[in-house]
């Protein structure tokens, strides 16, 4: 196994950047902390103002139709979570079979058939049941998360086994193949397996409750933003450019809220429950000069998975060139994103894939233009991109 693959991905105890509930978080050392606190409080004001205006004009605090659509088939959707969790244990039993002498050819079939079956079942459910956007995103997100966990567990143990067969001394393998080790790996907010992770000493109930409160405020803010400011515009069926312009601000606000909900609240909640210490779930992507920087920084768990199990796999095991490995990684990522969107829209329109692949020439353009130009080019895409995609896919679903 190469030096890159041997390197541990999670190595130290550190908080996420915007974790205002953690005194050691970088946000507390930042001179812009006051603006961030204002944004957090603004979410609370936004909820109160929206509920008041809604109640005075319509007699209800929230838009109820969207909520009713969200909870359609709710019990069944919730039960999918433990089902996928239990199904992912096939990766652990697969390792036990390998230790018992399972041939490589059969092992290859077991690995890829078990991982593919999860996608086939989830695709069947999405296409045959009356699910909206929240249910579809929840189920496909679960499947992708556990697929990556299963794949990483299998691939890392393959590499560890190859090293162990060459030199059995000082190897964590096969002592790491235990049910407890796999359980801890599953519940931690990571997508790359390693035999040990940095851990905090104890569970902090006050921290957990603060995070839960922030999650509740932000999820309600996101609901109001989508139900009051995005769905009505989508349903108006305006001309393309009109819809795009009207959606710029609400889509950007939703994008930011979704980022904080996932990477600042949900992942930290799971990290606290599992005592996981290395919480660098994102880096300063808002300072990205190129889309390549953004891809590395905004979603660290997925980036680390793609780097270790797609880029390095293509480069070192399949002998791709460095450039072709990069292109292949972009293509794989775009394909996965497009699959999710296709299931949500129940139609194939490769707008997202085209825009993601367009990031490659934009990286070169940004480098030529310099840092300031690259930063402005990046933010132009962030501001206009979500609303552009929302407009394109909503028009496709209508027509």
What is the reported pTM? 0.92
Asked if residue 9 belongs to a domain, the reply is yes
Q: What is the pLDDT of residue 157?
A: 96
Contact 249, 226 (CB under 8 A): no
Average pLDDT, the chain: 89
What pLDDT, in 10s, does the model give residues 358-378? 877 887 888 788 889 989 999
Please report which confidence band the pLDDT of residue 7 belongs to, taking 50, 70 and 90 as the band edges.
low
Asked if residue 298 belongs to a domain, the reply is no
Per-residue pLDDT averaged across 53-59, rounded?
Answer: 84
Q: What is the pLDDT of residue 3?
A: 45
| Residue span of the structural domain in which 273 resides | 3-281
> What percentage of the chain has pLDDT greater than the value 70?
97
Asked if residue 371 belongs to a domain, the reply is no
Asked if residue 320 belongs to a domain, the reply is no
What pLDDT, in 10s, does the model give residues 120-171? 999 999 988 888 888 999 999 999 999 999 999 999 999 999 999 988 887 8
What pLDDT, in 10s, does the model give residues 31-41? 878 888 888 88
**112 annotated active-site:** no
Asked if residue 339 belongs to a domain, the reply is no
Asked if residue 305 belongs to a domain, the reply is no
Sequence-ordered list of residues with C-beta below 8 angstroms from that of 22, at least 6 positions apart, any chain: 15, 16, 207
Per-residue pLDDT averaged across 189-218, rounded?
Answer: 95
- Res 210 pLDDT > 80: yes
372 or 69, which is more confident: 372
- Res 1 pLDDT > 80: no
* Catalytic-labelled residue, pool 112, 146, 303, 337: 337
1 burial via Cβ count (<10 Å: 0-12, 13-18, 19+): middle
What is the number of structural domains in the chain?
A: 1
Per-residue pLDDT averaged across 187-192, rounded?
Answer: 97
Asked if residue 165 belongs to a domain, the reply is yes
Asked if residue 101 belongs to a domain, the reply is yes
What pLDDT, in 10s, does the model give residues 79-131? 999 999 999 999 999 999 999 999 999 999 999 999 999 989 999 999 888 88
Q: What is the pLDDT of residue 6?
A: 54
Q: Which segments of the chain does DSSP mark as H helices, in order?
A: 3-6, 33-58, 64-70, 74-87, 90-99, 104-128, 133-166, 179-187, 205-225, 231-236, 240-259, 267-273, 291-297, 300-306, 312, 322-345, 351-357, 359-369, 371-398
């Amino acid at each position: 196994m190469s030096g890159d693959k041997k390197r541990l991905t999670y190595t130290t105890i550190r908080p996420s950047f915007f974790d205002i509930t953690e005194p050691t978080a970088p946000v507390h050392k930042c001179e812009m902390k006051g603006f961030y606190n204002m944004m957090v409080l603004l979410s609370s004001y936004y909820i109160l103002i929206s509920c008041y205006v809604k109640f005075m004009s319509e007699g209800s605090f929230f838009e109820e139709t969207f909520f009713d659509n969200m909870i359609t088939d709710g019990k069944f959707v919730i039960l999918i979570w433990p089902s996928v969790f239990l199904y992912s244990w096939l990766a652990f039993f697969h390792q036990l079979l390998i230790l018992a002498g399972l041939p490589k050819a059969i092992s290859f079939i077991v690995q890829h058939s078990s991982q593919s079956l999860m996608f086939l079942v989830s695709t069947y459910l999405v296409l045959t049941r009356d699910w909206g956007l929240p249910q579809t995103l929840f189920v496909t997100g679960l499947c992708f998360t556990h697929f990556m966990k299963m794949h990483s567990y299998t691939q890392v143990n393959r590499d560890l086994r190859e090293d162990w067969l060459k030199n059995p001394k000082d190897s964590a393998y096969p002592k790491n193949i235990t049910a407890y080790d796999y359980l801890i790996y599953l519940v931690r907010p990571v997508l790359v397996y390693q035999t040990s992770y940095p851990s905090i000493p104890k569970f902090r109930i006050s921290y957990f409750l603060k995070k839960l409160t922030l999650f509740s405020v932000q999820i309600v803010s996101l609901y109001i933003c989508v139900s009051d400011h995005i769905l009505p515009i989508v349903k108006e069926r305006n001309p393309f450019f009109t819809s795009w312009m009207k959606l710029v601000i609400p889509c950007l606000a939703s994008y930011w809220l979704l980022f904080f909900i996932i990477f600042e609240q949900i992942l930290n909640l799971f990290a606290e429950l599992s005592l996981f210490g290395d919480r660098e779930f994102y880096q300063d992507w808002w300072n990205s000069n190129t889309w390549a920087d953004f891809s590395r920084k905004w979603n660290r768990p997925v980036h680390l998975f793609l780097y270790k199990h797609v880029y390095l796999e293509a480069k070192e095991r399949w002998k791709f060139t460095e450039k072709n490995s990069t292109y292949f990684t972009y293509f794989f990522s775009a394909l996965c994103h497009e699959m999710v969107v296709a299931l949500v829209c129940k139609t194939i329109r490769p707008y997202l894939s085209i825009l993601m692949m367009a990031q490659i020439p934009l990286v070169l353009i940004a480098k030529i233009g310099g840092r300031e130009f690259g930063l402005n080019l990046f933010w132009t895409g962030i501001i206009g991109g979500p609303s552009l995609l929302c407009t394109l896919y909503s028009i496709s679903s209508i027509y």
